[in-house]
Amino acid sequence: MILVTIDVLEVLLPILYFITIWAYAKAFFSGHPKARKISTPLLTVTLLAHLTYLLGRTAAFEHPPITSIFEILSVIAFSISLAYLLLELKTRVKATGYFVLNLPFVFQLVSSLFIKDQIDVDPVLKSNLLGIHVSSALLGYAAITISAVYGFLYLMLYHKIKSSRFGVIYERLPNLEVLERLSFVSTAIAFVFLTVAIAVGLIWLPRAFPESSYIDPKLFGTLLIWLVYGIGLAARKLAGWYGKRIVVLSILGFAFTLISMTVIDIFFSGFHKFY
Amino acid sequence: MDLLSVGTSHKRAPIEVREKLWFSVDEVRAALKELTQHSYKECVIISTCNRTEAYVVSPSEEPKAESLRDFLIDFKNARSIACPEHFFSFSSCGVANHLFEVTAGIDSMVAGDVQILGQVKEAINLSKESGTNGFYTNRLFQSALHVGKRSRTETEISEGAVSVSYAAVELASKIFAHLEKKTALLIGAGKTGELTAKHLVSKGVKDVFIANRTRSKAEELVQKLGGSIVDFEDLRPQLRHADIVISAISSPNYVLTVQDIQHVMRDRDNSPLFIIDIGVPRNVDPLVNKISNVFLHDIDALQRIVDQNLQKRTREVTKAQKIVEEELVEFTHWYNSLNVNPTIQQLRELFEEIRQLEVEKHTHRFTERDRELMDLVTKRIVNKILHIPTMNLKNGETESTEETVTKIRTIRKLFGLMGRRPDA
């Protein structure tokens, strides 16, 4: 029964994400009132389905869905959508959903296409501390992604206004100050989650592998990212960096994260490689 | 008894005629009183700078538009300038159609004009005050105001700035989230600059500073807008406190140069600065726009926003038209249900339906010959039953409206005719 539910949801989730994006796109580009109305409930339903799917997998295969890249992609998709929903509910800014939710759709689509039912996993991965470590790291990266999306939207609107091109982007996006704030708030959230992830990871590592050392490219990469964002947050608070400069920094941070995570994963090996 | 409206608007008459036919509030009151003496049952007058329109319920079956038109002309002594071509006239549901288009913002000079809705509301209130409103006009105006509300919430016909000064404010709110935390600096005391500052103040801008070469003019403006005066010579130091700068001064040289702004941006921690340059020749060096976090816009850019919004509003007209049509169907339904003839006709149809149904049900019990007879007898019974009520209703046409209407409503309710659409 539970396996059937998982299989159905696997097919259903990308479709649900697609419908949700479609509603957000319709609301943004043509200001359709009905689309505006249903977009948030649709996202909520999609998230509930996604949560059921992740919990179902955890129960059925007896491990949190963090043991393969495709399981992790699904968790990232979930984290980004959840973070976005919270942000939307908090700020009441609805107009940007389309831009953010494209990512979870792609991630979930890839995940659904290639994911396998995995039962045999390294027992070292069945740990609660590891669960906290991985989920806070993923939430942190989700927040970084969202921050970059808002940064990107900020730059788009910034250039539209500067060059006096007043099209759909100008009309429908919230104002620059709000976009900058959304980007900043997600960065701050990302920083907190990354801090937790690093701290928990440092505690967990000697427990799982007593003979291991902290020399690991992924750990260094993450520390560097953490440092970059920390400096950015400090620059804003202390040096009063506003507007374009801080946004560009956030986008650079995201690009750096993306590169460090993929490049390190492909070209270096360390204890962080489990799959 | 019929609805009738006569009036003039920017679509038919030039400004000279419209201003001659404009009614002040007191004149509206007087005219309403006079109209009721002309045996019009109910009357409402709308008068704005773009239109003067009278809505009445006229007692005769064939309402005379000419006499109402003449009344308006004579009341304003406008014989010399106003002629029949300047006027439109509608009757029955045409009246509603026109009024709905007015409140929907379709009939306005600028599509989606927001003021007209308030003006129509004021007109019906004036009529209520004078006691010249009534059964028909209440419903007519209630529906019209509903159309206006729907058109503004369900379409984007009233969205977007359609004046240069308002476009500037719209642009400001695309850059800043909280205008109430921002400070504006107005350079010059010209009309557009003043209007822009006024809009900003009404949007809640925290502080306004005004700098002008002639101090007395700046003082005048401060009285109108509030805020405080800055010496023209102290302009540059003041810039660091301003988030929005409106420059509208006539000057052969740039009032603000790239160096000025670069300097200011350093002082204000690079936080965004919005400069509106409505001076011709331009007051601010266009190169200023190259500086990071500075947004400089001149009058052409603002005009582009206005043009775009106008186009967009025009595109929304079809949607608003649909709302007018929907509400007109409702209104027509209601309006016709008040008339005697459709009610009688529907009553007959209802009885005939019942008769036919019963006859069909029992027709197999009779022989061929008896069937014809039964048909005849039942028809006669129905006719006899309906004869007296029909006569009484028809007599009702000469009675006062209210009484007839009550009768018709009762009958429609009793026989369940409420949901039926009259074909008439």
Nearest-by-CA chain A residue for B154: A33
B270 to A175: CB separation less than 8 angstroms, yes or no: no
Residue-wise DSSP of B97-144:
HHHHHHHHTSSSSSTT-SHHHHHHHHHHHHHHHHT---HHHHHHHHHH
Q: What is the pLDDT of residue B26?
A: 93
For residue B325, the distance in angstroms to the closest alpha carbon of chain A comes to 20
Chain B residue numbers with beta carbons less than 8 Å from the beta carbon of A34 are: none
Q: What is the pLDDT of residue B424?
A: 38
pLDDT per residue over A44-56, tens digit each?
999 999 999 999 8
For an interface test with B, give the residue of A34, A172, A176 to mutate (most B CBs within 10 A): A176
- Partner residue opposite A178 with nearest CB, options B177, B293, B308: B177
Length of chain B: 424
The interface pTM score, or ipTM, of the predicted complex is 0.78
A209 touches chain B (CB under 8 A): no
Q: What is the pLDDT of residue B319?
A: 93
Q: What is the pLDDT of residue B127?
A: 94
pLDDT at B245 over 90: yes
CB A166 within 8 A of CB A160: yes
B175 to A181: CB separation less than 8 angstroms, yes or no: no
- Partner residue opposite B272 with nearest CB, options A164, A240, A242: A242
Report the mean per-residue pLDDT for chain B. 88
B174 to A33: CB separation less than 8 angstroms, yes or no: no
pLDDT at B388 over 80: yes
Task: Over range B211-235, report the average pLDDT.
Answer: 87
pLDDT per residue over A167-194, tens digit each?
888 888 889 988 988 888 888 888 998 8
Task: Over range B122-138, report the average pLDDT.
Answer: 92
- Partner residue opposite A242 with nearest CB, options B173, B293, B304: B293
The residue type found at A248 is: V
A157 to B301: CB separation less than 8 angstroms, yes or no: no
B42, B43, B403 from B37: Cα distances, Å? 11, 11, 21
Structure-model confidence comparison of residues A212 and B44, the more confident one? B44
Chain B residue numbers with beta carbons less than 8 Å from the beta carbon of A181 are: 177
Between CA A203 and CA A218 the distance in angstroms is 16
Maximum average pLDDT range among B327-341, B354-368, B382-396: B354-368
Q: What is the pLDDT of residue A171?
A: 83
pLDDT confidence bin for A18, thresholds 50/70/90:
very high
Q: What is the pLDDT of residue A83?
A: 85
A169 touches chain B (CB under 8 A): no
For residue A178, the distance in angstroms to the closest alpha carbon of chain B comes to 6
For residue A173, the distance in angstroms to the closest alpha carbon of chain B comes to 8
B178 to A177: CB separation less than 8 angstroms, yes or no: yes
> In sequence order, which ranges of B8-114 are alpha helices (DSSP H)?
15-20, 25-37, 65-75, 93-104
Q: What is the pLDDT of residue A266?
A: 66
pLDDT at B1 over 80: no
Q: Which of A90-94, A97-101, A184-188, B30-34 has the lowest mean pLDDT?
A: A90-94
A166 to B304: CB separation less than 8 angstroms, yes or no: yes
Chain A residue numbers with beta carbons less than 8 Å from the beta carbon of B297 are: 164
pLDDT confidence bin for A38, thresholds 50/70/90:
very high
Chain A residue numbers with beta carbons less than 8 Å from the beta carbon of B154 are: 33
Q: What is the pLDDT of residue A125?
A: 67
B72, B121, B407 from B79: Cα distances, Å? 10, 29, 44
pLDDT confidence bin for B277, thresholds 50/70/90:
very high
pLDDT at B423 over 60: no
Chain B residue numbers with beta carbons less than 8 Å from the beta carbon of A31 are: 156
Tokens of B393: 């209703």
Structure-model confidence comparison of residues A226 and A241, the more confident one? A226
Task: Over range B120-140, report the average pLDDT.
Answer: 92
- Residue B278 CA to its chain's centroid (Å): 31
SS3 breakdown of chain A: % helix, strand, coil, rounded to 5? 80, 0, 20
Where residue B191 falls (left for φ over 0; alpha for ψ -120 to 50; beta otherwise) is: alpha
pLDDT confidence bin for A118, thresholds 50/70/90:
low
B270 to A178: CB separation less than 8 angstroms, yes or no: no
A164 touches chain B (CB under 8 A): yes
Q: What is the pLDDT of residue B62?
A: 63
For residue B269, the distance in angstroms to the closest alpha carbon of chain A comes to 6
Where residue A215 falls (left for φ over 0; alpha for ψ -120 to 50; beta otherwise) is: beta
- Partner residue opposite B270 with nearest CB, options A174, A181, A243: A243
pLDDT per residue over B83-116, tens digit each?
889 999 998 889 999 999 999 999 998 888 888 9
Total-model pTM: 0.73
Q: What is the pLDDT of residue A53?
A: 93
Q: In terms of Cα–Cα distance, which of B381, B332, B329 is closest to B93? A: B332
Chain A residue numbers with beta carbons less than 8 Å from the beta carbon of B293 are: 242-244
A175 to B178: CB separation less than 8 angstroms, yes or no: no
pLDDT at B293 over 50: yes
Structure-model confidence comparison of residues A33 and B297, the more confident one? B297
Chain B residue numbers with beta carbons less than 8 Å from the beta carbon of A32 are: none
B270 to A176: CB separation less than 8 angstroms, yes or no: no
pLDDT per residue over B52-65, tens digit each?
999 998 876 666 88
B292 to A243: CB separation less than 8 angstroms, yes or no: yes
- Taking the CB of residue B368, how many other CB atoms lie within 10 A of it? 6
A41 touches chain B (CB under 8 A): no
For residue A179, the distance in angstroms to the closest alpha carbon of chain B comes to 9
Between CA A209 and CA A132 the distance in angstroms is 17
3-state secondary structure of B187: strand
Q: What is the pLDDT of residue A222?
A: 81
pLDDT per residue over B332-345, tens digit each?
878 877 777 778 88
Phi (first) and psi of residue B290, to 5 degrees:
-75, -20
Maximum average pLDDT range among A225-234, A259-268, B310-319: B310-319
B305 to A178: CB separation less than 8 angstroms, yes or no: no
| Cβ-proximal residues to B181 (8 Å cutoff; 6+ apart), any chain | B206
With a pLDDT cut of 90, the percent of chain B lying above it is 44
pLDDT per residue over A131-171, tens digit each?
788 888 888 888 888 889 999 999 999 999 998 888 888 88
Instruction: Show which residues of B are catalytic.
Output: 49
Q: What is the pLDDT of residue B399?
A: 47
Q: What is the pLDDT of residue B102?
A: 95
pLDDT per residue over B232-244, tens digit each?
888 888 888 899 9
